[in-house]
Chain A
Amino acid sequence: MKRHFHLGFATLLTLLVSLPCWAARVGDPAPGFQAKDTLGKVHTLSEYKGRYVVLEWHNRYCPYTHKHYASGNMQSLQKEWTARGVVWFTVISSAPGLQGNVTAADENAYVKQVGASPTAVLLDPSGQLGHLYGARTTPDMYIINPAGILIYEGAIDNKPTTDIADILTATNYVSKALEEAMAGRPVSVPVTRPYGCSVKYAD
């Protein structure tokens, strides 16, 4: 009974935040959020004002996510950009029982095993954060600038495949947008179609 009530409540919350007109749009202030990471720390978007924030939607069992981790591509991006002051949140919105839903301990072991170095991994099993930003696929990438404005949303790069070899010849939209923004230029490609697996939200 209690469990059913809980699921129903989570679904209701999900529905409330999934209204399309509420989804984040490039050029608008990024919607504020509060989320717990895999170490139990709560992060609030507003506490990172003054810094760039990257959101990376993640599901380690999705072949597209796998492409960017098995190749080491995602880990290098995390390493490079966090070293340059960027806050990088890996976000897991898989609902309980669905692919990619993992415990905090399991995720911490995975991060260590693959050598990932995000600022933190945020757990979003209710899908609330995912729906707030309108995240559709894994990966799906968002960049928020130091003023709190969403400046990029979409694909990680321009090669929508599961083929690791494609990473070498791909244009990485996240790096390009961060480079441009940090140089004081407008982001030349601010919105792209994200590619990957569907985010495993509770239906």
Chain B
Amino acid sequence: MAFDLMGGSHSRRSALLLFTALTTMAHAAPASAPSHLRVTLLSEYKALAPARVSWIGLRFEIESGWHIYWKDPGDSGEPPSVQWELPAGLRAGAIRWPAPERIPDHTLIDYGYEGGVLLMVPIRTPPESAAREPIKIAATVKYLVCRDVCVPGTAHVALSLPFSRRESLQPSGSRALFIQTRSRWPKPAPRSWKINALGAGDRFVLTLCTGASERHAVFFPDDPSVIKNAAPQPAVPLANGVRVTLQKSDLLVKPLPRLEGVVVLGSKGAFVISAPIHSEIKRGG
């Protein structure tokens, strides 16, 4: 064997690295301490500006093949939850969820994220006079990470940030990730769009007139009990939009007034929609 463990310093370092890698792998093995993801707390800027909203984010780096969940997890699982520990005067807002993906889970479909995601949260800061010391922001994050099996986990994260004048705020090394994440947020559907939904038998037919033909459209409901999440969503391009057929959920026990959620349109990105549902049978008028 050509591998000389007792050779020069370079080889020794390689051996040490190999050993470290092996022991790290051993620690990451499911039997001992399965986590399958890493959570860190990031800030968009190196400091907080007083009396305004600053953005921080929980960064999930997820092991290949595993996923976490959107606010509506789909057929199984649950979204991450956060308990903030903030100094007096600071307030954390709600998580802004980037558009999810459809993730097959045996015979089900989950809505979530693979690879990684930044869950951004606005923090409202008090006037400067309130704090001269660096501010410690901490959180306990509970999550469920799944592949073909699921593992619950808890992460404790923290971040210390000084206050700085608004003019002299410096972007942090994570600023690009914050900008990129904002582009994945569902935007309000433009007012010029015409969106409607038809309740027809066991289906909803969702029509979006965006002004241009769309080839791809995927609907993610806010409520997991509205459509059959695992059913395919055939999309038909129209001259000025797209039509998507959804299967009604077995859990719908009374007529649904609106179809609410997020539609992801190919290259255009994700949009928040709330479409009134018309019944298939309309008499008179």
Contacts and interface: CB of A to CB of B under 8 A. Distances in A.
Given A99-B149, A193-B225, A197-B77, 4 more contacts: A62-B150, A191-B250, A196-B76, A201-B107
A26 B110 CA distance: 24
B275 interface: no
A63 B152 contact: yes
Contact of B144 (A154, A162, A200): A162
Nearest to B247: A20
B251 A192 contact: yes
A150 to B, nearest CB: 12
Interface in B47-88: 75-78
Nearest to B230: A136
Interface string A163-174: 100000000000
Nearest to A100: B149
Interface in A17-46: 18, 20, 23, 25
Contact of B250 (A25, A99, A196, A197): A25
Q: Nearest 4 CB-CB pairs, A to B?
A: A198-B106, A162-B152, A193-B225, A198-B105
A9 interface: no
Interface string A90-130: 00000000110000000000000000000000000000000
A63 B106 contact: no
Contacts of B105: 198
16 contacts: A18-B107, A62-B150, A63-B144, A136-B107, A162-B144, A163-B142, A193-B225, A193-B251, A195-B76, A196-B76, A197-B77, A198-B75, A199-B106, A199-B107, A200-B148, A203-B106
B108 interface: yes
Nearest to A160: B78
Interface string B214-248: 00000000001100100000000000000000000
What does DSSP make chain B's interface, helix, strand, loop or mixed?
loop
Contacts of B144: 63, 162
B106 A23 contact: no
A161 interface: yes
Interface residues of B, number: 23
B200 interface: no
B136 to A, nearest CB: 26
A63 B151 contact: yes
A163 B152 CA distance: 9
Contacts, number: 61
A137 interface: yes
A44 to B, nearest CB: 26
A58 B75 CA distance: 16
Interface in A134-161: 134, 136-137, 154, 160-161
B253 interface: yes
A51 B154 CA distance: 43
Which of B108, B146, B149 has the most chain A CB atoms inside 10 A of its CB? B149
A199 B110 CA distance: 13
Given A98-B148, A197-B146, A191 B106 contact: no
B78 A195 contact: yes
Contacts of A25: 250
Nearest to B253: A191
Interface in B114-167: 142, 144, 146, 148-152
A13 B152 CA distance: 34
